[in-house]
Amino acid sequence: MNDIKKIEDNSNKAQNYISHEMLALFVFSILVFGFNGVYLNQPDEQKINDLKSSIDRVNQFAKTEESDFLKQVKPEFKKFYLKVSFFLFESMDKIKSKSTESDLVAKKLLLENKTFREELMNQISNVDIKWQKDFYARLTKYHLEYLDFLKIK
């Protein structure tokens, strides 16, 4: 009979020990999640500044005549027009900000940019698939030259 009581007492002790173990694990988990939550909730100042500058750039683009021209664009070509037009707008500003008066590469890129913008505005009302593919090919070449220019500056 005494042996049975000893066995029962040991089983109760094991259950208490497991509950203390679970309590420690639970408290540790709460602390880890709490610290992670506080750390991850802190705003990243660099991302916030980048977002604000991007919003400012979009607002500047919205004030240009190119965004007013959007009303004449067919609905199926609005996405194409906006992407290309905003890229040309953005690249023109970056080239102007990073170039000097005597920089021939920058002048060439600015001239190409202007011709692309004019061509886009002239062709967007009547887009042909062949013209669009050709335009993308030439614009890709311009984009590579633009990236090389940015690397140098």
What is the spatial distance between Cα 143 and Cα 146, in angstroms, rounded to a whole number? 5
- State mean pLDDT over 9-22: 62
User: For residue range 22-68, what is the model confidence (pLDDT) as tens digits?
Assistant: 888 899 999 999 999 999 988 889 999 999 999 999 888 888 876 67
pLDDT at 7: 53
| Phi and psi at residue 6, to the nearest 5° | -65, -40
| Neighbour-count burial for 59-79, b at 16+ CB within 10 Å, e otherwise | eebeeeebbeeeeebeeebee
Per-residue model confidence as pLDDT tens digits over 71-128: 778 888 888 888 999 999 999 999 999 888 778 999 999 999 999 999 998 888 888 8
pTM (predicted TM-score): 0.69
Q: Across the chain, which distance is largest between two alpha carbons, in Å?
A: 105
Write down the pLDDT at residue 74: 83
Q: How far apart are CA 89 and CA 66, in angstroms?
A: 9
